[in-house]
């Protein structure tokens, strides 16, 4: 990931804080700060499909986040001091999680459509849609995954041996 050309050229990067069954992102987050890039993480709004990408000030900033009912660390709902990526310069790159992927770039998420809805909002931002890379285990690559009309394909799926 760290040697990927899109990562190297990107300045504003959104990345998920990994759950135990996902590709672990902690070292990527540390590198984002080491390289002097800006790091944004998801804040999901419960009972909706709305998500914002909020800026982290450092890798250590993660320890100040609150744990949601889904066991995901994220900025609290009353945390209004953080920059939302689309309120500023947009994003260059989004690393995305998922449950399954196919080689056509289709992604099976957790069913709420958070990333699809967020990417739709990105397309309306002056900086346009960021490049999207899904991080996967080889076992998550399928022949095909079910897709809906509003699903947005990822630009690239990275997994071992790909």
Is 17 one of the annotated binding-site residues?
Answer: yes
111 appears as a binding residue in the annotation: yes
Tens-digit pLDDT profile for residues 50-80: 999 999 999 999 999 988 887 889 998 888 8
Is 91 flagged in the annotation as binding? no
Query: Of 134, 130, 131, which is closest to residue 157 (Cα–Cα)?
Result: 134
Taking the C-alpha atoms of residue 90 and residue 107, their distance in angstroms, rounded to an integer, is 22
Q: Confirm or deny that 26 is annotated as ligand binding.
A: no
Q: For the beta carbon of residue 27, count every other beta carbon within 10 angstroms.
A: 11
The answer to the question of whether 115 is labelled as a binding residue is: yes
Does the annotation place 114 within a ligand binding site?
yes
Judge if pTM exceeds 0.85: yes
Q: Is 112 marked as binding a ligand?
A: yes
Strand order in the sheet with 131-135: 51-56, 38-44, 12-14, 93-96, 131-135, 156-158
**Residue 108, annotated as binding a ligand:** yes
11 labeled part of a ligand binding site: no
Backbone angles phi, psi at 33, to 5 degrees: -70, -40
- Given a cut of 70, the residues of the chain with pLDDT beneath it are 162
Per the CB < 8 A criterion, the answer to whether 111 and 134 are in contact is no
Domain spans, the chain: 5-158
Q: Architecture of domain 5-158 in CATH?
A: 3-Layer(aba) Sandwich (3.40)
Count CB atoms within 10 A of the CB of residue 76.
11
């Amino acid at each position: 990931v760290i040697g990927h050309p899109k990562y190297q050229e990107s300045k504003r990067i959104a990345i998920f804080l990994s759950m135990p069954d996902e590709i672990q992102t902690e070292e990527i987050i540390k590198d984002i700060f080491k390289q002097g890039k800006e790091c944004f993480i998801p804040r999901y709004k419960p009972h909706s499909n709305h998500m914002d990408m909020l800026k982290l000030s450092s890798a250590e900033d993660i320890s100040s986040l609150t744990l949601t009912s889904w066991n995901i660390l994220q900025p609290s709902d009353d945390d209004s001091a953080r920059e939302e990526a689309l309120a500023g310069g947009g994003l260059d790159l989004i690393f995305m999680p998922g449950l399954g992927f196919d080689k056509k770039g289709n992604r099976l998420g957790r069913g709420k459509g958070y990333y699809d809805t967020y990417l739709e909002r990105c397309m309306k931002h002056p900086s346009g849609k960021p490049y999207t890379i899904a991080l996967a285990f080889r076992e998550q690559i399928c022949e095909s995954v079910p897709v809906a009309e509003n699903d947005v394909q990822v630009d690239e799926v990275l997994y071992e041996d790909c």
